[in-house]
Amino acid sequence: MQLLEQFARGDLEAFEALFRQFQSEVYSWIVRIVRDSGVAEDLTVETFWRIYRAHAHFDPTRSFGAWARRIATNVALDYLKRVRPEVELVESMAREEPPNPALRRDVQERIARGFKRLPAKLRVAATLALVEERPYAEIAEALGISVGGVKSRVFRAVRRLREELKAQGVEP
Amino acid sequence: MNQDDDKKIRELLRRAIPPVRDTGLQRDLWPQMLKKFDESAGARVPWFDLALAAAPAMGLVFFPEMIPVFLYLL
């Protein structure tokens, strides 16, 4: 509590202590969204940079971790909006996992491509809920919306992906 | 029909895009954070430089007849 109060007053040592305590947590959240370790490291630093600049807005009675996660989600969302869809997702970290032999490669690629074309907001909700299987309440807190809002985004993401696949001639 | 399709899409998605396996941070990012602080400090224009630039600008606003002299001296 004292540490959080010191941080809210702009104390750099308190910020460093919080950075060391939460950097892994923030990184692991971001890497689940952007799916690239190098990018996730850069975005973790960017997240803490925004955290430091917003120290005066932090309420020390509330959870620092939840606040950091929310800022991290916004940073990751900004990144996904900025980056061309051809560049990110699936390509890097997912490649470490061997492809499921039951799933034909072309269908797999079409799904991944269609998923990348979804709006960033829908994609983040669907990635966290369906791919990473994070609890809806956790996603809702990180996105700053209700659980119903998360469900709605996931539902819309699945619908749009289905339409996209149908347009490409892929029947589920 | 659509609900069945949605279920299938969810399953296909899970198989096509596997979850990130290694979510652990491999190194301490504090040095990068300090670098960010340094870059930010370097990018900031000192207040004295701003005052130096503001003084002639204000002079030209209040004494526009000095503009030709100022341009001549440039």
Tell me the H-state helices in chain A.
Answer: 2-8, 12-34, 37-53, 64-82, 105-116, 120-126, 136-143, 147-167
End-to-end CA distance of chain B, in Å?
77
Contacts of B70 (CB under 8 A, 6+ apart): B56, B60
Q: What is the number of helices (H) and of strands (E) in chain B?
A: 4, 0
Q: Do B20 and A132 touch (CB under 8 A)?
A: yes
On chain B, the residues whose CB falls within 8 A of the CB of A44 are 25, 29
Is residue A106 domain-shared with residue A167, that is, in the same domain? Answer: yes
Residue A59 has pLDDT above 60, yes or no: yes
pLDDT of residue B2: 63
pLDDT of residue A90: 45
Which of A97, A118, A143 terminates a domain? The answer is A97
Q: Do A158 and B19 touch (CB under 8 A)?
A: no
Window B:3-42, CB contacts with A under 8 Å: 5-6, 8-10, 12-30, 32-33, 36, 40
Is residue A116 domain-shared with residue A55, that is, in the same domain? Answer: no
Query: Of all helices (H) and strands (E), which one includes residue B43?
Result: helix B30-43
> Which range of residues forms the domain containing residue A110?
98-172
pLDDT of residue A109: 83
Model's pTM, two decimal places?
Answer: 0.78
Confidence of residue A84 (pLDDT cuts 50, 70, 90): low
The two tokens of residue B24 are: 């652990």
Residue A154 has pLDDT above 80, yes or no: yes
> Mean pLDDT throughout A25-31?
97
pLDDT of residue A85: 62
Residue among A168, A145, A141 at smallest CA distance from A69: A141
Residue B1 has pLDDT above 80, yes or no: no
pLDDT of residue B24: 94
ipTM: 0.78
pLDDT of residue A8: 95
- The number of folded domains in chain A is 2
Window A:58-117, CB contacts with B under 8 Å: 89-90, 93-94, 96-97, 100, 102-103, 107-109, 111-112, 115
Burial A25-38 (b: 16+ CB within 10 A, else e): bbbbbbbbbbbbbe
Is residue A90 domain-shared with residue A117, that is, in the same domain? Answer: no
> Mean pLDDT throughout A6-20?
96
